[in-house]
Amino acid sequence: MNNLKKWLGGSLLALGLITQPVLAQSQKPPVYFGDITWESGSLITEVLRFITEKGYGVATDTLPGSTVSLEAALAKNDIQVIGEEWAGRSPVWLKAQAEGKVFGVGDIVKNASEGWWVPEYVIKGDAEKGIKALAPDLKSVNDLARYKEVFRDQEDPTRGRFLNSPTGWTSEIVNSQKLKAYGLDKDFVNFRTGSGAALDAEVSSSIRRGKPVLFYYWSPTPLIGRYKLIKLEEPAFDAEAWKTLADVNNPNPKGTRSLPAKLAIGVSAPFKAEYPQLVAFYEKVDFPIDLLNTTLAHMSEKRTEPRKAAETFLREQPQIWHAWVTPDAAQKVDAALNSK
């Protein structure tokens, strides 16, 4: 049943055909959250849903989709909330924001970042593990062409492999354009993993075996805190160059490091107008990044479902989330947690 829901929800999002269920006039439909697939997004979504439901008495549900399809659905109010929106990045979001259809609420994780990474041992070696430095002079993306053999693709040994985001993520478009901008598209296979979990597994497997791997990743995530990694240098941020990277159809992208990260809660215009008390709560959400990375690491290592991990976070960190909500909402959430 869950698989059917996911397939159907994703199909409807892609077609823009989601409609709210038929309900009695006195009963409001649930607030739909985007069913985000990466760890931090999943955890944050479930934290928000639990407080929204238990603290403010508003029913919620989720609908799946890729980043782009969820942003398009938010603009149409087919969903009402995206729990972790990297605001200002995709053309879909920017257009909807300019038209007043979506809003980025709050600044939910300070010091978030993203980029291209390699394990530290690739550059410095690891004497304890008997690993020699394979790319001692690798510092920036401009050095990668010299080291394509270090990151050799198994299926195409004449080129290196770059592990990109899954297709459908905004970052996948940006990374694909960066490969062209840095003149690396002929030297490296642009390998897209099937999901965020698959990307994590591919990177983790390579590191456990002491193998070289070049990959895109971001923080907050458990992986960044779990391993010794080095982020490769990129040109200083340039707003005009960034536009060429975010546009999949631009034939001449220009290189720049990614737009400084601002993680917000994406909400639709009708939701913002109808639920000012929830917007006031969302505006105050602030996850300390070190605590979030630790929480994500525990969730990943123990294979805890995001909903259970969210409940644990709320139970163990009241000093964090009590500051986001009204005293009445905090009391109701605490009561709900204590009843479990």
Within the chain, which residue ranges are assigned CATH 3.40.190.100?
113-246
Does residue 48 come out as left (phi exceeding 0), alpha (psi in the -120 to 50 range) or beta? alpha
Tens of pLDDT, residues 26-54 = 478 999 999 998 889 999 999 999 999 99
Q: Which residues contact 33 (CB under 8 A, 6 or more apart)?
A: 45, 48, 49, 60, 61, 62, 63, 79, 80, 81, 82, 83
Cα separation of 321 and 314, whole Å?
7
Please provide the average confidence, as pLDDT, over all residues in the chain. Answer: 91
User: In the prediction, which pLDDT does 7 show?
Assistant: 46
Q: Which of 8-22, 161-175, 198-212 has the lowest mean pLDDT?
A: 8-22
Cα separation of 186 and 210, whole Å?
26
Tens of pLDDT, residues 239-289 = 999 999 999 999 999 999 998 888 999 999 999 999 999 999 999 999 999
Is pLDDT above 90 for 9? no
Within the chain, which residue ranges are assigned CATH 3.40.190.10?
31-110+261-335
Angle ∠(136,142,147) on CA atoms, nearest 5: 45
**What is the homologous superfamily of the domain 113-246 according to CATH?**
Glycine betaine-binding periplasmic protein; domain 2 (3.40.190.100)
Domain covering 31-110+261-335: architecture:
3-Layer(aba) Sandwich (3.40)
Report phi then psi at 182, rounded to 5.
Answer: -90, 5
The pTM of the whole model exceeds 0.75: no
